Structure 1
Amino acid sequence: MSSPAMQIAVDQTGPLTSGYLLVEPATLDYAPDLAALDMRPCTPRVLAHREELMPRLIDLGSLDPDVRQTVTRYWHEEIDAERPPVACAWIRSAVEIDAVAAHIARYLVGPDAGGEPVFWRHYDPRVFALALAIFSPDQQQALLGPIQAWQFAWAGHIWHVDGPGVEADPAGQSLGWPRVDQWPRINRSEIVDRIRRRFSGFSVWQAARFPSMADSFLNAAAANGHHSATDELVDAAWQQLSHELASE
């Protein structure tokens, strides 16, 4: 398992003045002011008929200052929000918005462990934090591609991940897509989030360690035949990880 790629963002409260904000359309009811803005959908060709469900990018540099203030307010609300995320990531890249949207779209649909097509919400912070703990450095860089910096709010903090700024896998998505053996772990993002919400809060170092620790616990549980996301399993994970975090 690779060491955590995410680092705490230096500025947790600064304004958003440039780059792109990645938004989840399914939760825009929580942020009606964002819903009124122009957005660029990240739409895979195979899902062109469902474009309204695809994640969207807001070009922050094109906004008036007062609108940027409103967008920044929603971004900061994500730090402690108990609802599902709306503003999923703040992205910096040297390429145009269409190129960033096309890259994100490439990693939305692909084969699952059985070879069947699946829609992967890798951009959701609850999924992204776990994927970083599972992916190798090469996979992480391929997933980010032309993105120079990806910031996301998760577990009470804003996190920063450096990207290469260039396409690492121009021939296809295989390098930045979960391997067959990784899918069982990737698919545990929901139970990992349930375990996380049992904690009252995390320090920076605890939050940085948590995805890998939860992944390790669930791997061991699966090896012992515990595959279902039961309340008992969540309770056992919370007790074990609480002890481990307190002892480090």
Structure 2
Amino acid sequence: MEKIPPPHMPETLPLPSARFAVIDAAQLAPEHWDDLPSRRMVPDAYRDRAELFPILVDLDELDETQRVAVLDRDANCAAQSGKTYLMALLDARGTPASVLTHLTRRMLVRRPDGQEDILRIYDPLVFRHLRWLLSVEQIDSLLGPIGTWHWREPDGTWHSHSRDADQPSIRPLRLTPAQWPSLLRMADLQRAIRTLADDDAPCAWRIETAQQLDQLLADTESIEGLNESEDRALHALQALRFGRTIHQHSALLHRLGMARNGETTYSSACADLDAIRLQKFADELQQSH
């Protein structure tokens, strides 16, 4: 399949340039959004848990005071709590009802085991990964009537992805068996990226880094003892920073054995290891070959 190319340089995006806004009502108190005309982005099967989903706001329905309030709330949430207010801005034609229907249909996917699940396309940290995981045709199906999807990167800058097709795609979004493992690893991938960002944010937020970590996380699935997300993320990060062979060192083999035997978790067993010691292990392995 043809893959989506990496994003170009970020651009500053003024709010009035978008028709719709997706607001994180699930994580914010109602006073931040309940005065806005909105529609809950929730598939019918999840109506009893509607509070866990974001809202869609048609910005054309807001007056100037409300638009300014949305901008102020977005800035205040980021500054005061670090929470996301605007999850996405969408340039789309059609009625709010038609855009909402399209989005909620695309959110509902069927896993390989036949169970229905939610694809969090509205989450900017998920959407940025879907761009390299899905094909051009799949992304067009995801966008449908949305001409351009805008999302904020973790560094605060806005990025945009425009639909490749001239006309909205009416094809259903069908995920391939090869794509599902990466989707199911998404939570582990996000954990690993957030951890890496504490030490090296520019590296953490590169698309190439996400792709590498996804493959390294795939390796952990066959390793006994890596039972927790934190353990798998740590193992992948060690391999990313110090090479895949780092886990051949006796010190790490011993710690993995402790986790495998149920004595402790892998993360706890590695708590005494810093970057200097791990680099020393990597150097020792290189010298021995």
TM score, norm. by length of structure 1: 0.79
* 1:195 to 2:192 alignment: yes
* 1:180 to 2:173 alignment: no
Shift of 1:89: 0.5
Shift of 1:207: 2.8
| Structure of larger gyration radius | 2
Shift of 1:22: 0.9
Rounded to whole Å, the distance in 1 between the matches of 2:121 and 2:111 is 13
Task: Give, as a single letter, the amino acid of the residue that structure 2 aligns with 1:62.
Answer: E
Shift of 1:213: 2.5
Match of 2:170 in 1: 169
Task: Give, as a single letter, the amino acid of the residue that structure 2 aligns with 1:114.
Answer: D
Shift of 1:181: 3.0
Q: Is the 8 A contact 1:41 1:56 kept in 2?
A: yes
Match of 1:210 in 2: 209
Match of 1:19 in 2: 19
Q: Is the 8 A contact 2:41 2:104 kept in 1?
A: yes
Q: Check 1:120–1:82 CA distance in 2 against 1; reply closer, same or farther (3 A cut).
A: farther
1:151-210: CA deviations, max 9, x gaps? 11232132211124643134xx3xx24323322210222211111212135339953433
Between 219-228 and 189-198, report the one with greater CA deviation.
Answer: 219-228
Match of 2:99 in 1: 100
* 1:60 to 2:65 alignment: no
Rounded to whole Å, the distance in 2 between the matches of 1:64 and 1:133 is 37
Structure 1: unaligned runs, 5 residues or longer: none
Shift of 1:223: 5.5
* 1:42 to 2:28 alignment: no
Identity %: 20
1:118-170: CA deviations, max 9, x gaps? 12222112222222221111111111111111111232132211124643134
Shift of 1:112: 0.8
Q: Check 1:177–1:225 CA distance in 2 against 1; reply closer, same or farther (3 A cut).
A: farther
Match of 2:148 in 1: 149
* 1:117 to 2:116 alignment: yes
Q: Is the 8 A contact 2:25 2:33 kept in 1?
A: no
Determine helix, strand or coil for the equivalent of 1:122: coil
Shift of 1:62: 1.9
Q: Is the 8 A contact 2:78 2:85 kept in 1?
A: no
Rounded to whole Å, the distance in 1 between the matches of 2:8 and 2:228 is 29
Shift of 1:117: 1.4
Rounded to whole Å, the distance in 1 between the matches of 2:188 and 2:146 is 29
Rounded to whole Å, the distance in 2 between the matches of 1:17 and 1:80 is 23
Rounded to whole Å, the distance in 2 between the matches of 1:5 and 1:79 is 26
Match of 1:91 in 2: 90
> How many correspondences in the alignment?
238
* 1:139 to 2:138 alignment: yes
Indicate the structure whose relative CO is greater, using CA pairs within 8 Å and at least 6 residues apart. Answer: 1
